[in-house]
Amino acid sequence: MRYIKIHLFQFIFDPDVSQPIGLKFKLKVINKDQYKLSASGNDVLFYNYSSSKITDIVDEVDISDIYNFNEEIVIENVRFKIILHDEYDDKFFDKVNYCFFFNSFEDLTDYYKSAIEIEPFDNQSTIAIVTLKGQNIDKCVDFVNALNEGYLQRNKDLQNHIATNTIQYINKQLSGISDSLNVAGKKLQEFRSTNNVMDITLKSGRIYDQLQALETEKAGLVVTSKYYNYINEYFDQNSDYSQLLAPSAMGIEDPTLNNLIRELIVLNAERQNLIDNNQQKSPYLRQLNIKLENLKNTIIENIRYIQKTSDIVISELDKQIADLNTEINKLPKTERNLVGIEREFNVKRRDLYIFY
C-alpha cells in the first residue's frame, strides 16, 4: 500500500490498482466516522502507478455517496481508503468542502518542472538558489528538501561510482607488477651476493641517475598514453559513459579534459535517468544525445592532439636513453650487468608506485 499525507487526511491506495487521474473528487467530513464523496467526469483516464501507464478510458464516472473513514471504497473502478486524522477539529464537521485529484507521475513532473527555478547564487559560486511556486507552502518546502536530498545522494552515488571504477582500473594495471617486482628484487640480491658487489661506481651512478630520471619521465607519459588509449577504446565499445574514468582519478592534471569528461558523465546520468523513467520520446533526450555526441568528439580531438605531442616527447626521450645505454655498454661487464639488473628492479618498483 502507498500512504500519502494531505493536510488532515491520509489517502491509502494500492499502486497496482489503476486510479482515475484528473478527476476532481469533492469531500465533506460529516463526522469523525463518515464523509461524503462525489465526483463526475467523462472519458476519464485510469492510471497504474506501478507501471506508470494509462490502463483504461472510462466513458463516464459518477460518484456521490456517504462512506466510512478507514474503510476501502470500491466503486466505478475506483478503489482507495481515506483516514481522518485525530487532530481534525470537530467544529468543521459538515461545513468545509475539500477536493483532491489523482495525478500521473508524468503530469506531476511537468508541473514541478514548470514551477521550479534553479539559478546560481553568483557567477563565482557553486551555491544554487532553488525557488518553487505553489499554493501549499509546507508541500513546497517538503518538495525542495526532497529535491536537495536526492541531488546530494545522486552526487554521492556518482562519486562512489567513479571511485569504484578507478580502483578497478588500477587493479587491472597492477596485475602482475607486484610479482615481477619480487622476481626482479631476488635477481638483484642474488647478483650482488654472487659477484660480491653491493653498489655501482661514481661514474656508473651518474649515468644511472640520468637514465632513471629519463625513464621515470617516459613512464609517466606512457601511463598517461595508456589512459588515453583506454578512453578511445571505451568510446569504440560503449555508448553508456557511466563507467568512464576522469583524468583526475588517474592523477592526470588536465583541467580542460577533466571538465569535458566530467560534463559527459553528468549528462550521461541525466540521459540514463530519462531512459529509466520511460522518457525515450522526450525532446530533451534527443538534445542530450546530441550534446553527448558533440562532447565525445571534442574529447577525442583533445586526446588526439595530446597524444601527438606526447609521442614527440617520448621519441626525444628514447634518443637520450639510447645515448646513455651506449655509455653503459662501455662499462666493465660486472658493473654493466649490475646497472641493468638495478634498472630492471627500479622500473618495476616505479611502475608499482605510479598506481599507488
pLDDT in tens, the chain (356 residues): 443 445 678 889 988 989 999 999 999 999 999 999 999 999 999 999 998 899 999 999 898 999 999 999 887 678 899 998 887 888 878 788 888 889 998 888 888 888 888 777 766 666 778 888 877 777 788 888 888 887 777 777 766 666 666 666 666 655 555 555 555 555 545 544 555 444 445 456 677 778 778 877 888 888 888 888 988 998 998 888 887 877 877 778 888 888 898 889 888 888 888 887 777 777 888 888 899 999 999 999 999 999 999 899 999 998 988 887 777 666 556 555 655 566 565 655 555 444 44
Mark whether 185 and 148 lie in a shared domain.
Answer: no
Closest by CA to 96, choosing from 36, 41, 22, 138, is 36
Residue 35 in domain: yes
Residue 314 in domain: yes
Q: How far is CA 28 from the centre of its chain?
A: 47
Residue 200 in domain: yes
Mark whether 70 and 185 lie in a shared domain.
Answer: no
Mark whether 184 and 136 lie in a shared domain.
Answer: no
Mark whether 85 and 213 lie in a shared domain.
Answer: no
Residue 109 in domain: no
Residue 348 in domain: yes
Mark whether 151 and 121 lie in a shared domain.
Answer: yes
Range of the domain at 125: 116-164
Mark whether 76 and 136 lie in a shared domain.
Answer: no
Distances in Å between the alpha carbon of 349 and those of 9, 197, 266, 353? 68, 21, 36, 6
- pTM for the whole structure: 0.47
* Residue 281 neighbours by CB distance under 10 Å: 8
Mark whether 321 and 186 lie in a shared domain.
Answer: yes
Give how many domains the chain has, as a whole number: 3
* Residue 191 neighbours by CB distance under 10 Å: 16
Separation of alpha carbons 350 and 71, rounded Å = 73
Separation of alpha carbons 249 and 209, rounded Å = 30
If DSSP codes are grouped into helix, strand and coil, which group holds residue 204?
helix
Residues 227 and 252: beta-carbon distance below 8 Å: yes
Mark whether 208 and 274 lie in a shared domain.
Answer: yes
Mark whether 252 and 122 lie in a shared domain.
Answer: no
Separation of alpha carbons 20 and 10, rounded Å = 18
Mark whether 21 and 141 lie in a shared domain.
Answer: no
The single-letter DSSP state of residue 18 is: -
Mark whether 99 and 136 lie in a shared domain.
Answer: no
Mark whether 11 and 156 lie in a shared domain.
Answer: no
